[in-house]
Amino acid sequence: MTTQTHALDVEIPGLNQVLIAGEWADSSGPLVDVISPSTEEVIVQVADPSIEDADRAAAAAAKAFANGQGQWPRMSVEERAAVCARLCDALEARMDDMNRAWTFEAGAPKAHGDMINGGAGVMVWRHALKMATEDIQWEEDRGDALIRHIPIGPVLAILTYNGPVVLMGMKVIPALLAGCTVVIKHAPESPLTARLVAESIREAGFPEGVVSVLPAGTATTQHLVGHPDIKMVAVTGGTAIGVDVVKRTADRLARTALELGGKAPAIIAEDVDLDEVMETLGVGASGFLGQVCVNLSRILAPRSRYDEVVDAMAAHYSSIKVGDPFDPETERGPLAVERARTRAEHYVAVAQEQGAKVVVGGKRPEGLDRGWYYEPTLLSAVDNQMTVARQEIFGPVTAVIPYDGIEDAIAIANDTPFGLAASVYSSDADAAMDIAKRIRSGGVAINLAGISLTQPFGGIGDSGWGRECGAEGILEFTDIQQILKGGSYLDAADAV
């Protein structure tokens, strides 16, 4: 099978522009090629936002926030939610176009876009609107003090190529609801969806300066992270990126919220029905070719049933249809970026050198002679000290690791610098809950894979800090203010 050529059939606004302060503006950056991951052909050229563009966006955000005295932070939450609801309406109205554009730029089959954007994305931003207006107590009178949640200030929201739409609901809309102004930094690999998002923002009619959109590269992004007008950086990315963000914000003590890498384990108890387990485990370990931070990349199987687990996983992986993402029969398209395939190939080679065995995959698919394709890969004979079990790959490589007894399984699950997500599969509900509570991870699913996007979610250790989603994900973008009405500590002197 030869990869087919597809002409861009989605109208993309502002190809040579950027959205600054809510309006399209000419960019001072160069034009760069957008490469199709499924054909390696140039789709179109777009402006690569410059440092000058970044300065204009940051200045606009600071001016609109005006140290908390601007129009947006002084609006009621109901007024802000009304504008954000218009944004949600606009995003949903062009959801098919955004998902189609994502197929062109990231190789995501439309079914994946429909699920993560049209399903989860809509759910998370609609839930955020409800939480902000109905459930969060923005002010609480505690008698001697009024406790208020107030917006932090201009926020830089750094989004990834694997979630340019759903992350609007996890980062951007919560920050806006909290009263912050926002510079949205989409990944440079998301230039098409970023511009459709930007047009939705323009249509929503935010006050001038409240939102800007820059699908920028590394140099411009690092400049924004270090910009004195940015008071908080909320980033999704790898651990190394998170460390760099902390260093660039440290001197001015800017707030950071870091949703970083993962090496999620799935503990398979001895008592499971593997047919039931595979209903969620297979997809939970192979979604979007492993380009999901919560993918279950370490499958911990009891030694007594190790071969059964490997065989069940192998059957699932062998059945996955990899191919042209525009084909409705395709389940997995190419990797979104060439470096991801190179990285996967490297880790598989190192794993084999260290004694692991390739059960399924481990190569580029036959017949797909163009595009950044790589087969879903299952490795056996892996121990938790191998490189493939220690480092995040962010690609289609899954390791099955044997354990001896549940205490060993818990020890292996926790023997990682990461702590983002995990799963526990057991037919004993009480035992599963006990195991889940002993796993050091920001999220643990029982007899499921994945996370809830309506509840607080985030990492432990090298997986970052801060929480997204739920009420906590909105309040992450606030400071707590105490307005004292009585009971000062100075009054204690009168009691001595």
pLDDT band, residue 496 (cuts 50/70/90): low
Per-residue pLDDT at 177: 98
Nearest to 486 by CA among 143, 141, 144, 146: 144
Q: What pLDDT digit, counting tens, does each position of 46-73 carry?
A: 999 999 999 999 999 999 999 999 999 9
Q: What pLDDT digit, counting tens, does each position of 130-185 carry?
A: 999 999 999 999 999 999 999 999 999 999 999 999 999 999 999 999 999 999 99
CATH superfamily of 17-260+459-481: Aldehyde Dehydrogenase; Chain A, domain 1 (3.40.605.10)
CA distances from 9 to 97, 326, 458 (A): 9, 12, 37
Quickly count: other Cβ atoms within 10 Å of residue 19's Cβ.
Answer: 26
CATH superfamily of 264-446: Aldehyde Dehydrogenase; Chain A, domain 2 (3.40.309.10)
Per-residue pLDDT at 1: 47
Start-end of CATH 3.40.605.10 domains in the chain: 17-260+459-481
Mean pLDDT over residues 419-436, rounded?
98
Per-residue pLDDT at 494: 66
pLDDT > 60? residue 264? yes
Per-residue pLDDT at 491: 87
Half-sphere exposure of 101 (CA within 13 A, CB side): 26
The single residue listed with the structure tokens 């989409």 is 186
121, 111 contact by CB (below 8 A): no
Nearest to 159 by CA among 192, 180, 188: 188
Nearest to 410 by CA among 444, 361, 377: 444
Q: Assign 3-class secondary structure to the chain.
A: CCCCCCCCCCCCCCCCEEEECCEEEECCCCEEEEECCCCCCEEEEEECCCHHHHHHHHHHHHHHHHHHCCHHHHCCHHHHHHHHHHHHHHHHHCHHHHHHHHHHHHCCCHHHHHHHHHHHHHHHHHHHHHHHHHHCCCEEECCCEEEEEEECCCEEEECCCCCCCHHHHHHHHHHHHCCCCEEEECCCCCHHHHHHHHHHHHHHCCCCCCEEECCCCHHHHHHHHCCCCCCEEEEECCHHHHHHHHHHHHCCCCEEEEECCCCEEEEECCCCCHHHHHHHHHHHHHHHHHCCCCCEEEEEEEHHHHHHHHHHHHHHHHHCCECCCCCCCCCECCCCCHHHHHHHHHHHHHHHHCCCEEEECCCCCCCCCCCCCCCCEEEECCCCCCHHHHCCCCCCEEEEEEECCHHHHHHHHHCCCCCCCEEEECCCHHHHHHHHHCCCCCCEEECCCCCCCCCCECCCHHHEECCECHHHHHHCCEEEEEEECCCCHHHHHHHC
Per-residue pLDDT at 492: 79
pLDDT > 60? residue 247? yes
139, 147 contact by CB (below 8 A): yes
Active site residues: 259, 293
Averaged confidence pLDDT in the chain: 96
32, 48 contact by CB (below 8 A): yes
Per-residue pLDDT at 4: 63
CA distances from 457 to 114, 219, 471 (A): 22, 29, 11
Start-end of CATH 3.40.309.10 domains in the chain: 264-446
193, 101 contact by CB (below 8 A): yes
Q: What pLDDT digit, counting tens, does each position of 314-371 carry?
A: 999 999 999 999 999 999 999 999 999 999 999 999 999 999 999 999 999 999 999 9
Q: What pLDDT digit, counting tens, does each position of 105-135 carry?
A: 999 999 999 999 999 999 999 999 999 999 9
Query: CA angle at residue 363 from 360 to 369, to 5 degrees?
Result: 135
Mean pLDDT over residues 386-414, rounded?
98
Q: Which two tokens stand for residue 239?
A: 């651990």
What amino acid is encoded at 473 in this protein? G
Beta bridge partners of 424: 267, 446
Mean pLDDT over residues 441-469, rounded?
97
pLDDT > 90? residue 23? yes
pTM for the whole thing? 0.96
pLDDT band, residue 495 (cuts 50/70/90): low
